[in-house]
């Protein structure tokens, strides 16, 4: 595995604790050796439609993502090339004009709700992780995140959850759990599971 990038996929429902697991792994591996790619950064550009139309987008459906660009970038990172990662504005519901340079590292972590449901993405992953957390915990975390970090109202978060988030979870995300190599219960607070993943990463890259 030396001189080759190790690609880890961390999936799970909205608010499951994917970011917490990612953060803890980055701390264990050492930040200078890890690059993190968020699936959320690869929402499609919607400059061609109005803000009112963008608000109606189902962000929990596979069609919302620019998987062609994501797959291209993952292949570049695995081959040692840097990428210009897109950035997304969750208040404007559109891709930003600026991008972020991400250099290839020893370990790349891809985090997102739908990454295990896409066969072409799964094929690129060396380790596939699913973070499994009860739905009541996930919705509370999503409400807090979207209000504090994304400028949403409580009513809009609940409406979106019932209309698109929950149906998409049942249709796409929950079934993708079967593709995981490792399932972490209790969100990002299962330190034993996180340490086991870290030990596996060490055994491969060393």
CATH number at residue 21: 3.40.50.300
Classify residue 1: in a domain, yes or no. no
Q: Is 17 annotated as a binding residue?
A: yes
Classify residue 58: in a domain, yes or no. yes
pLDDT at 3: 55
Q: Is 18 annotated as a binding residue?
A: yes
More confident residue, 206 or 10: 10
Q: Is 12 annotated as a binding residue?
A: yes
Classify residue 84: in a domain, yes or no. yes
Domain, as residue range, for 136: 6-201
1 has pLDDT over 50: no
Classify residue 206: in a domain, yes or no. no
Domain count, the chain: 1
Classify residue 176: in a domain, yes or no. yes
pLDDT at 134: 85
Are residues 60 and 14 in contact, defined by beta-carbon separation less than 8 angstroms? yes
Q: Choose the most confident range, by mean pLDDT, from 43-52, 68-77, 138-147, 196-205.
A: 68-77
| C-alpha angle 8-12-16 in degrees, rounded to nearest 5 | 115
DSSP 8-state symbol, 125: -
Could you tell me the pTM of the whole model?
0.89
Neighbours of 62 (CB within 10 A): 14
Classify residue 178: in a domain, yes or no. yes
Q: Is 15 annotated as a binding residue?
A: yes
Residue 41 token pair: 């950064």
Q: Is 16 annotated as a binding residue?
A: yes
Q: Is 56 annotated as a binding residue?
A: no
Rounded to 10 degrees, the C-alpha dihedral 192/197/204/117 comes to: 160
Q: CA-to-CA distance for 70 and 35, rounded, in angstroms?
A: 14
């Amino acid at each position: 595995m030396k001189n080759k990038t190790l690609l880890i996929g961390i999936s799970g429902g909205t608010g499951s604790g994917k970011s917490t697991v990612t953060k803890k792994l980055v701390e264990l591996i050492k930040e200078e050796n890890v690059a993190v790619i968020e699936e959320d950064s690869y929402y499609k550009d919607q400059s061609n439609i109005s803000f009112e139309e963008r608000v109606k987008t189902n962000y929990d459906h596979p069609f919302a993502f620019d998987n062609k660009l994501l797959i291209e970038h993952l292949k570049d990172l695995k081959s040692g090339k840097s990428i210009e990662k897109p950035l997304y504005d969750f208040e404007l519901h559109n891709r930003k004009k600026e991008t972020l340079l991400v250099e290839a590292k020893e370990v790349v972590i891809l985090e997102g709700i739908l990454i295990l449901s896409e066969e072409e993405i799964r094929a690129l992953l060396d380790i596939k992780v699913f973070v499994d957390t009860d739905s009541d915990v996930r919705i509370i975390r999503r409400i807090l995140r979207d209000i504090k970090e994304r400028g949403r109202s409580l009513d809009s978060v609940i409406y979106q959850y019932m209309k698109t988030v929950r149906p998409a979870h049942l249709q796409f995300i929950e079934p993708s759990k079967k593709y995981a190599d490792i399932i972490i219960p209790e969100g990002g607070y299962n330190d034993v599971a996180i340490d086991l993943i870290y030990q596996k990463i060490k055994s491969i890259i060393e």
